[in-house]
Structure 1
Amino acid sequence: MRSSDPMLPDHSPVPACPACLCEQRHPWHRKNGYDVVECERCGFRYVSELPSDEFLRAHYRSSYCQSDGTFQPKGGLLRRLKYRAFAVWFKRAILRHRESAADAVRILELGCGQGDLLKAFSGDASVRVTGMDYAAGPIGHLRERGFDAHLGGLDEAPVGPESLDGIVMLHVLEHVRDPGAVIAHAARLLKRGGLLYVVCPCSGHIKARIAGDRWKYLGPPDHLWYFTPRSMRTMAARMGFDVLRSSNLYHRAHVTLVAKKL
């Protein structure tokens, strides 16, 4: 059960595991008045009750702004180099898998934030990138600078079915109300052979096991879903993807998914 704190928004129960649809689960942790449970089949961890969609939208539309409502982007050479290296790798990966190499590469980033990835691709005329985010501050910042950025979720993106070569979600799925629906919608927007790249906190990482309920990523209602490589693979495969990689093979407590639209 959730907390009785009257400041909490309306909630609704989660009847089954969003990854594998199993209804059997057991307690994992309790945090901030929320019960976080673990699926007995695939190991996916998730809150047993969800805050309303209206609450989540309002929460993330203001999350990037300062107290006076302004937006201040982060900078730094290392940050720019990291995103540029990823941009080069992701474009090459897309070109290896897509069926036609004639058209410009079309990429969408859900949760684009301050637009690091959009900026990393800005000098490449062969790539068109669209950014989506619920936070108004960074979207306004990007649009003022000429980037193709829009307020909203994947279902509000100004792109048609089977029009994208790649979709990127960096630390997004743990925040949304229905991660399975987001991945399914990504499948509809991607061309055959298009790539989905996802990074989320990994609840199966050694750091999470050691920290227990003090793990820094355990924090509903900001984080609602807690993936492992197995549960991420299960969800993506169920939504029509060929999973090329689902792992956490480095020191940070993140799970990385690379999957191809079938």
Structure 2
Amino acid sequence: MRPWLRVPGDWRRPDERAAYLTYWCDRCAFGMLHPSPTPDEVARAYDLDYYTHDPHWGRPRRRTLEQRVREHLAWRADRRKPTPDALADVLSGPPLRICEIGCGNGLAAGRMRDLGHHLTCVEIDPAARAIARERGLDVHEGTAERLPAALDGRRFDVVVMIHVLEHCVDPVAAMANVARLLEPSGRFVCEVPNNACRALERSGPAWAWFDVPRHLLFFSERSLRGLCGAQRLHVEEVRYTGYYRQIAEPWVDEEQRIHDALYARGSNGFARNSARRAWGLLARTAFAPAARKYDSVMIVARAT
């Protein structure tokens, strides 16, 4: 692996001075934070006002006319229009037994339950876990690498990990657990940030989905396929998601805050974010291939 992006600190912790180094493998299109943090350091990274602690996270914001025009053009250029729940189409049909690992505050799990499915959830963050339980969900303490004892011997029709795998210290152990949880011919649904997209190239460490040190691993479609193949999970479908939100004002504002926090600590290798740069990203990506355009990649794999 070659040295990739240097992050001068955790932008969410203004007083922290530690720097982080990431490395990238061109052959397998995969990156990682090195050295890997200890379990205590991982837990501490979430000991702050993280978005999964907010039961109202995800509600729409008011926009100016200029913002609405830019977002509408991005929406028109989005070949994969967002839906209220991207999992609804993947999980359509009769009720399924679903295990969501890393359910956060239970927003997605609640939607799956509302579709008629039977949910069992795993979450390590106590604040997010409390909110998920307030939604009436069956939530157990644990991680993808260290599953709760309550799941011993249980099997599921579907295992879901949405923006979770990038947080894992040991992705091989996490995927081995996924394989063990699946019924024969069960499905694995996994979505991660797409680190092959042009937005990352433009924003660097200020890209909203980079989020070191909470994100420890950096995937592309190629590396995600490779990880599934190592556990004999056959990838049946690949979906790229998340385009027009990159042009939307909440994303632009977030990247501006990240940029300013990192710039104050010496990160000057990337241009300042602004609404004008959002227009530039729209111009560069409106007709780009999916792997370069969308901020996330979802795979649906089946146990073999």
The alignment's TM-score, normalised by the length of structure 1, stands at 0.73
Which residue identity does 2:137 align to in structure 1? F
How far, CA to CA, are the matches of 2:128 and 2:57 in structure 1? 13
1:73 aligns with 2:55: yes
> Is the CA contact (8 Å cut-off) linking 1:35 and 1:48 kept in structure 2?
yes
* 1:36 corresponds to 2:37: no
Aligned counterparts, 1:116-155, within 5 A? 116-123=107-114, 127-154=117-144, 155=146
Instruction: Pick closer, same or farther for the CA change 1:119–1:214 going to 2, 3 Å.
Output: closer
Per the alignment, residue 27 of structure 1 pairs with 3
Contact 1:168 1:198 survives alignment (8 Å) = yes
- Return the alpha-carbon distance in structure 2 between the equivalents of residues 121 and 234 of structure 1: 28
1:59–1:34: structure 2 CA closer, same or farther, 3 Å change rule?
closer
- Paired letter, 1:236: C
Counterparts of 1:160 and 1:209 in 2: how far apart (Å)?
42
Q: Which structure would you say has the larger RCO, counting Cα contacts within 8 Å and 6 or more residues apart?
A: 2
Residue aligning to 1:52? 38
Distance 1:76 1:40 in 2: 34
After superposition, what is the alpha-carbon deviation per residue over 1:49-91, rounded to whole angstroms, capped at 9, x for unaligned?
Answer: 111012213433665489xxxx54026788xx723x6235314
Write the deviation string for residues 161-193 of structure 1: whole angstroms up to 9, x where unpaired.
461111111111111111221111100111111
Does 1:214 pair with 2:206? yes
SS of the equivalent of 2:36 reads strand
The structure with the greater share of residues assigned to strand is: 1
Are 1:252 and 2:294 matched, yes or no? yes
Residue in structure 1 matching 2:179, options 175, 187, 206: 187
Cα displacement string for residues 185-224 of structure 1 (whole angstroms, at most 9, x for unaligned residues): 1001111111111111111112122323433333321111
| Conserved 8 A contact 2:98-2:119 | yes
What are the superposed Cα offsets for residues 87-120 of structure 1, whole Å, 9 maximum, x if unpaired?
A: 353143xx7xxxxxxxx62101112112123322
Q: 3-state SS of the aligned residue for 2:199?
A: helix
Preserved CA contact (<8 Å) 1:60 1:134: no
Identity over aligned residues, as a percent? 28
Over the aligned positions, Cα root-mean-square deviation in angstroms equals 2.7
Q: Which of 169, 187, 192 pairs up with 1:200?
A: 192
Measure the CA separation in 1 of the matches of 2:121 and 2:230: 26
Give the one of 134, 152, 156 matched to 2:147.
Answer: 156
Instruction: Look up the SS of the partner of 2:46 in the other structure.
Output: helix
The SS at the match of 2:161 is strand
Q: Does 1:107 align with 2:94?
A: no
What 5-or-longer segments of structure 1 have no aligned partner?
Answer: 1-24, 96-103
1:7-22 alignment runs, 5 A limit:
none
Question: How many residues end up aligned between the 2 structures?
Answer: 220
Distance 1:65 1:82, change over 3 A: closer
2:226 aligned with 1:234: yes
1:134 maps to amino acid? I
Q: 1:228, 1:175 → 2: CA distance?
A: 15
CA drift of 1:124 comes to: 5.0
- Cα 1:247–1:229 change in 2 (3 A) is farther
The structure-2 alpha-carbon separation of the partners of 1:63 and 1:153, relative to structure 1 and needing over 3 Å to count, comes to farther
Alpha-carbon contact 1:31-1:218 (below 8 Å) kept: no
- The one-letter code matched in structure 1 to 2:300 is V
Residue pair 1:233, 1:246 contacting (<8 A) in 2 also: no
Q: Per residue, is there more helix in 1 or in 2? A: 2
Unaligned runs of 5+ in 2: 9-18, 61-82, 241-289
Q: Using the alignment, how far apart are the partners of 1:149 and 1:220 within structure 2?
A: 26
CA distance in 2, matches of 1:142, 1:218: 25
Preserved contact between residue 238 and residue 297 of structure 2 (Cα < 8 Å): yes
Shift of 1:225: 0.9
Q: Secondary structure at the residue paired with 2:167?
A: coil
